[in-house]
Amino acid sequence: MSEERKQINYAVACVSEFAYRHNLPIKEAFRFLFEYKAIEFLKENYEIEHTLSFEDAIDDMLLICKKNGGTLA
């Protein structure tokens, strides 16, 4: 499997876990994470983030979104 494919699979898994944790539809979770730069963060920091637990990665993603103005009700 190519490195790019691994990164895509990891991002998909993170979006799914984020959606599950926050009780959101996957499409809505993706839009939120994309708009508030968490997808970009995962891509840029894949080497570190993929060594963490999904719980830690999701926490990091939420922090990035909050830093960029995103809030969840």
The mean pLDDT of 16-27, rounded to a whole number, is 97
> 7-36: b or e for each residue (b if 16 or more CB lie within 10 Å)?
beebbeebbebbbeeeebeeeebbebbeeb
Q: What is the pLDDT of residue 6?
A: 93
Q: 0.85 cut: is pTM over it?
A: yes
CA distances from 61 to 2, 4, 19, 22, 57 (A): 24, 20, 12, 12, 6
Question: What are the tens digits of pLDDT across the range 44-72?
Answer: 999 999 999 999 999 999 999 999 999 98
Neighbouring C-beta atoms of residue 41, cutoff 10 Å = 20
Q: How confident is the model at residue 8 (pLDDT cuts 50, 70, 90)?
A: very high
- Is residue 1 pLDDT above 90, yes or no? no
